[in-house]
Amino acid sequence: MAGMLELVFSLSILMSMAFSSTAQSCKSYAFSSNKIFRACNDLPVLNSYLHWNYDSSSNKLQIAYRHAGITSSKWVAWAINPTSTSMAGSQALVAYQQSDGTMRAYTSPISSYQTSMQEGELSFDVSDLSATLANNELILFATLSLSNTSTTVNQVWQDGPLSGNAPQIHPTSGSNVQSMGTLNLLSGESSSTRGSAKTTKRNIHGVLNAVSWGILMPIGALIARYLKVFKSADPAWFYLHASCQSIAYIVGVAGWATGLKLGSESAGIQYDAHRTIGIFLFCLATLQVFALLLRPKVDHKYRFYWNIYHHVVGYSVIILSITNIFKGFDILNPDEKWKNAYIGVIVALALNAVWLEGYTWYVVVKRKSSEAAVKMPHVTNGSNGANGVGAPSCIFMEVRVRSDSFTGLS
């Protein structure tokens, strides 16, 4: 018992030391150049830290931006955006190690999301710009002469790959789209936009589409295909099917509209395949809804062709929906548990479909066999039943009836 208490106590000390080390990662840092900064901030993503000195009388800001976990194949940047907390409009300081081993640090005004990080003058003066790379940590130094009088600035920090000596576009998911926020230069208080309006919209877009197109639509199809086999479920199955698909369509349209809004607010960031499938999916689903207005009666000669159309379009919508949801997972890059949860739902629906397919075939064949036995006249030896003509006829009738039972979503 005493040994267990000692082990728990030792683990508690180690954990407290670890948490303390993490909490003081910027405050306890000592620069090799003996530079001293009065304030610092642990930035919430991308293993980044900002140290600074601010002179409010001259509006000069001296900064040291540290980015850990960096190799010579990546560039890093820290920026101030005078107008918003987004990337577009940022006044950036960029640094990376060139192929010859020397460091390059320069200024780059970011005018759009499709930037090539070209060198250019910023909206404020920058001096003492330099960078170092050691122990997989790049440090960028600079002195900024800020033009505005506000002590709160919008900051953006980033990293991305290099191709030779040319910076390439950074990843557009996960931490790389959450690395922005505000900073009060006097108090040191900062806020991150990890829960920003855009991130919230992206999450809402994903949830609405996963629930509507990816879950409700398949459930509605299962209801139509399998419940209609049971006579006691008629006409309840139709109203359940129509209600489920209508709700899925309405919620799906809301998710689709949210996606269009996100696209219009993210000029330069394009997910062509995801966007194209989404638009095509919406068009097919809308055609499916309006096709209900032209649905022929059950005994109409065109009902057979309408059923084929309804089946093909309906199953196409479901397949495209699931495909596009997984593309959305790749874009949003959420915790793995959310993707696994959706996979679990799809697998559960698929297993239910397999079981119901077999069971309903059994129900239909058994029912038709019973009905045929009642309706067919009793045969004796020497009749058609004795020479085997009747049995194939009965089997042919059963299979045809089973096929008719699943013709169309009435």
Contacts of residue 7, defined as CB under 8 A and 6 or more positions apart, other chains included, come to none
pLDDT number for residue 299: 86
pLDDT number for residue 269: 63
pLDDT number for residue 387: 45
The reply, when asked if residue 205 is annotated as ligand binding, is yes
- pTM of the shown model: 0.53
pLDDT number for residue 355: 93
Share of the chain above pLDDT 90, in %: 29
pLDDT number for residue 377: 62
pLDDT number for residue 107: 92
The reply, when asked if residue 170 is annotated as ligand binding, is no
Q: Which residues in the chain show pLDDT less than 70? A: 1-25, 113-115, 149, 192-199, 265-270, 376-410
Tens digit of each residue's pLDDT (9 = 90 or more) over 321-376: 999 999 988 877 777 888 899 999 999 999 999 999 898 888 888 888 887 787 76
How far is it, in rounded angstroms, from Cα 39 to Cα 67? 17
pLDDT number for residue 198: 66
> Alpha carbon of 303 to those of 188, 294, 296, 299, 410: distances in Å?
71, 10, 5, 7, 9
Tens digit of each residue's pLDDT (9 = 90 or more) over 99-124: 999 999 999 988 776 667 788 889 88
The reply, when asked if residue 300 is annotated as ligand binding, is no
| Angle formed at CA 129 by CA 165 and CA 62, multiple of 5 degrees | 140
> Alpha carbon of 289 to those of 234, 245, 283, 314: distances in Å?
22, 9, 10, 10
